C-alpha cells in the first residue's frame, strides 16, 4: 500500500466543520479496526485521518490519509489541535479520550466502548489504579488479545455512532 502521506502541521489549520472527519490514533489500533474505518469512509464519503508517529497500513481509499507527525511531536497533540466538535475519534488512549471529550468530539475505542463525560471519569480512575498496581509490581503487564468478538463489537458500535450522527 502506498498511502498519501502528509508531513507538517498545516493540513487542517483554520478548518471549520462542514463535514465530519474521523480521526484515528493509529499507532496502537489493530489493522482490522483501521480497515473497517477505511471501508466505511469510502462507502459513506467520509474523510478519515490516520495519525501516528510512523506509517501504518490500512485498506486504501481515496478519502483516507496517513499523517505522520514530525519527530519530537505527539500524534495525540496533533489530533487535539485538529479535531472539531462534529468529528469522531477512535483511540485506546484514555487520557487522550478525556481531552477529546472536552472538545466535544465523539470518542470510541477499538473494543466498541463509547466514552462520554459520565463514563470517562471512571475509565480514567480505573486506568490510574491499574497503572499504580503495575508500577508497584502487583499487576502483570501487557494488553489482552483482540478477539473476533471485539472486532464485531467495534464494528457494531462504529456503525451505531455513524447512524446516530446521521451519516448512515
CATH code of the domain covering residue 60: 3.40.50
Q: What's the confidence (pLDDT) of residue 9?
A: 30
Q: Angle at the Cα of 17 (from 161 to 30), degrees rounded to 5? A: 45
Question: How many domains are contained in the chain?
Answer: 1
Residue 160 falls within a domain, yes or no?
A: yes
Residue 4 falls within a domain, yes or no?
A: no
Residue 58 falls within a domain, yes or no?
A: yes
Residue 72 falls within a domain, yes or no?
A: yes
Q: What's the confidence (pLDDT) of residue 18?
A: 54
Residue 32 falls within a domain, yes or no?
A: yes
Q: What's the confidence (pLDDT) of residue 15?
A: 40
Q: Which three cell numbers stand for residue 113?
A: 466502548
pLDDT, averaged across the chain? 85
Rounded Cα–Cα distance for residues 79 and 101 (Å): 12
> Is pLDDT above 50 for 4?
no
Residue 57 falls within a domain, yes or no?
A: yes
Domain span at residue 73 reads 17-164
Over residues 63-83, the pLDDT tens digits come to: 999 999 999 999 999 999 999
E strand spans, 19-81: 21-25, 47-52, 64-68
E strand spans, the chain: 5-6, 21-25, 47-52, 64-68, 88-90, 106-108, 114-115
Residue 11 falls within a domain, yes or no?
A: no
Over residues 79-116, the pLDDT tens digits come to: 999 999 889 999 999 999 999 999 999 999 999 999 99
Nearest alpha carbon to residue 110 among 127, 92, 123: 92
Residue 1 falls within a domain, yes or no?
A: no
Over residues 37-63, the pLDDT tens digits come to: 999 999 999 999 999 999 999 999 999
Amino acid at each position: 500500500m502506498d498511502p498519501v502521506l502528509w508531513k507538517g502541521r498545516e493540513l487542517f489549520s483554520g478548518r471549520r466543520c462542514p463535514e465530519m472527519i474521523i480521526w484515528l490514533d493509529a499507532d496502537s489500533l489493530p489493522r482490522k479496526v483501521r480497515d473497517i474505518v477505511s471501508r466505511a469512509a469510502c462507502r459513506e464519503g467520509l474523510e478519515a485521518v490516520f495519525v501516528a508517529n510512523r506509517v501504518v497500513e490500512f485498506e486504501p481509499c481515496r478519502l483516507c490519509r496517513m499523517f505522520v507527525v514530525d519527530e519530537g511531536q505527539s500524534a495525540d497533540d496533533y489530533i487535539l489541535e485538529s479535531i472539531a466538535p462534529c468529528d469522531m475519534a477512535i483511540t485506546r488512549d484514555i487520557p487522550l479520550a478525556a481531552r477529546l471529550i472536552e472538545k466535544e468530539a465523539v470518542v470510541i475505542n477499538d473494543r466498541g466502548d463509547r466514552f462520554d463525560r459520565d463514563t470517562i471519569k471512571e475509565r480514567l480512575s480505573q486506568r490510574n489504579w491499574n497503572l499504580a498496581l503495575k508500577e508497584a509490581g502487583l499487576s502483570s503487564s501487557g494488553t489482552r488479545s483482540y478477539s473476533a468478538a471485539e472486532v464485531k463489537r467495534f464494528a457494531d458500535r462504529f456503525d451505531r455512532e455513524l447512524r446516530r450522527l446521521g451519516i448512515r
